Structure 1
Amino acid sequence: MQEDNFSKDSRVHKEANSKIAASNQTRMKCIDAFRGITIASMLFIENPGNYEHVSSSFVHAPWDGLTWADYVFPFFIFIAGTVIPNSVRRRMDKGQSKLKILIHILHRAAVLFLMGLFLNGFPAFNFSAIRIPGVLQRIAVVYLVAGILVLWTNAFIQGAISIFILVIYYLMIKYISVPGYGPGILAKDGNLVQYVDMLILKGHLYTSTWDPEGLISTIPAISTILFGVIGGQVLLSERLKSINKIGYLIISGVISMVLGTMAGKYIPINKDLWSSSYVLYTCGAALIILGVCYLILDVIGYSTVFKPFLILGSNPIFIYIGFHLVSKTLWVLQVPDKAAGVNLPLNLYLCNKLFTPWAGNINDSYYFSIAYTLLWVLIVLIKDSLLYRGNV
């Protein structure tokens, strides 16, 4: 007997709903937890109570080398890549065309870029000297490229493009001659990255002569996000068992870190240059952390200790914007300290009054940073609670 139209439409509707439900379930706790760990690191590192009491491990390396602070930005970009395959799949399961998904990617990239410009200009908005590059701007560019590649290529091609970019970038840095300096300059002055930024964006950089998120150094950051894309595809794979996913992530992470160490002999691990060795090493670390988080949270199912990170990881843009607005307003306010007879920045004043008396001059800044990070967990909880009540 031929199926009537009503039954057929009902069956198709149920199948579509089941696909969407299955796609929505692919959101994994490991990604939010890893992102939350990265956000917590940012809040802790970038908001010390007293800069004079901070260990060198918690500040960026002066040039070559790697500290905890130097992992934060590449981890953000890597995580941005891990969510792209799932996002694209969910939209495709809802019946959206590739063109419609591309428009969504373009819109999201534009919003991120404009938010970055807003934060750079706030509060003075001196457009004649506004810094054009930035963290959100770099994420916007690499997200756009990665999104397009996910739509029209597979994991093998994405991996090949990632390695190709790292090789080409290495050759550019080593062999393109900079006027007045020559080729292969890897010092802060005279390298290709600085030359191109000064040539195109002079007067709109982080400092008068340098920008850590410049034009040329954004090219290898595309490889960083593609590493994340491939990690995300491993997690989404229906052909791989959980134990295989963990193995692939951790083993490939170890291999990448080894390759990064080896590459460091030819081009130093350097965040400001976003060197090829830096990409390999930090992405290797990211793959290992992602694999461990997946094992603990999504396979074993243990999440108790990770709850603060899950809270932070589910609100990245809100926290990032709020964190920068606070840094540019509250922390620059001058508060009179009668005992010292001077005016102090608010964060230093609070650290001296609330933490130094019992923590001492060595650990006071760390306890301040921990308290500030926990404060953001509370802020997000309150924000989510208010939004939930508003939707009930």
Structure 2
Amino acid sequence: MERRSLLRAAVLGTSAAVFGGALSRGAAYAAPAQNGPGPYGALGSADANGIQLPSGFTSRVIARSRQTVSGTSYTWHDAPDGGACFADGSGWIYVSNSEISSTGGAGAVKFNSSGTITGAYRILSNTNRNCAGGATPWNTWLSCEEVSLGYVYETDPWGVNAATRRDAMGRFNHEAAAADPTRQAIYLTEDAGDGCFYRFLPSTWGNLSSGTLQALKAGTGTSGSFTWGTVSDPDGSPTATRNQVSGAKRFNGGEGCHYANDTVWFTTKGDNRVWQINLANSTYELAYDDNLVNPGPAPLTGVDNVTGSSSGDLFVAEDGGNMEICIITPDDVVAPFLRITGQSSSEVTGPAFSPDGTRLYFSSQRGTTGSSSGGITYEVTGPFRS
């Protein structure tokens, strides 16, 4: 079924949160994305960094775990994971989590207008398995702990203000977060086989110190309507947050999350799906399912972190698969955008665009060594469509 209308993206002027394209479909549902030619063409041979890219794109290494970031005294963290970019005058900052037990936290790299690295530093320390997260419209980074009874920490990408634990956002196996300024909500994924999809409604937009945590309620199908139910005890003890709302819809391993124009997308690794929540009409559906690609094989497996571009394209990173970032276009086409070679024991993490949309940052969490100490963070530059 063809999409009814396409809403092009709006990129926040002073924030690096990118709001990609979205759909408005009424009661109709489109078929999940299918194999097809990507907008940038076929992948070329691996470059000197082992990355296969379409013609016109180039890569460079930004940082390596346990090595100092070029031109700085800061040692890049192990196991780089979720990330985001923030505008900084004419330059920008890329923030990256560290998925390490007990000492995880997050670090940042600062760039000037030409893309030269001008600084690197720590913005969060001594937290536990900081996996994904999300940017806020007021230019903070929400770093999420992927552990039972994990917290969300609100951090300063500039490293000036101390990080703040946001207890009201719930204690559970956190993954990603995505901000919705229209409904003044933060959406949250849960990395559990029977996890929920949540929204947090701050008492005051821009202040996450208090508010209401809710879980999405719906049937067992892959499309339909939904409502929200309030989690009465967000600290998750003695009853887990996912077991507090009657009729809460279960999702198999929530991962990345991205909001754009009345739509929020999130991935579930247990069943290799990308879900689409249509907020304007309170319906949900599948944007991608690797079991529904015909003809196969499915190009996108091991779905994980996700971001969007100003053209409305989704970029979905693979945890496993064949180490690709795949693109899902507004026309429901899925295709590889890049592939990292020689790193089959790693996963792709932290995709995020620079504020002007011309550079894509991401990491190989365990690099060529297959160890968390071997992480590599990259930048890809090229003619991204707008």
- The TM-score bracket by the shorter chain reads under 0.3
Structure number with higher helix proportion: 1
Higher relative contact order (CA 8 A, sep 6+): 1
TM-score, with length taken from structure 2: 0.23
Structure number with higher strand proportion: 2
TM-score, with length taken from structure 1: 0.23
Greater Rg, structure 1 or structure 2?
A: 1
